[in-house]
Amino acid sequence: MEKKYHPIDCNYYDELVLLVMQKKICEIVYRNEADEQITEQTMIKDVFTKEKAEYIELLDGKLIRLDYLISADGKENILSCS
């Protein structure tokens, strides 16, 4: 069963959109569904909303739910958009 989505900070979302526009290879750190920390050097292709949750799509097509994202390009993810 998938955990309930917890929105991220709106300003952080904007930072992710900027990385998409820059087409920049950067370090992405996230937790997978087994709660293991994964680090990849890749590019974010897209940021989008699907079924009431926000995601990034990586260069290889992998989707990461934003509340599983720990950091992107060295910037820590802040949960809770107010």
What's the CATH number where 24 sits?
2.30.30
The pLDDT of 8-28, averaged and rounded, is 95
Rounded CA separation 29/18 (Å): 17
Rounded CA separation 55/63 (Å): 6
Confidence of residue 3 (pLDDT cuts 50, 70, 90): confident
Rounded CA separation 62/20 (Å): 15
Rounded CA separation 18/52 (Å): 22
* Cα dihedral 36, 42, 47, 48 sign: negative
Tell me, yes or no, whether 50 lies in a domain. Answer: yes
Tell me, yes or no, whether 64 lies in a domain. Answer: yes
Tell me, yes or no, whether 5 lies in a domain. Answer: no
Domain count, the chain: 1
| pTM value > 0.85 | yes
Domain range enclosing 39: 10-76
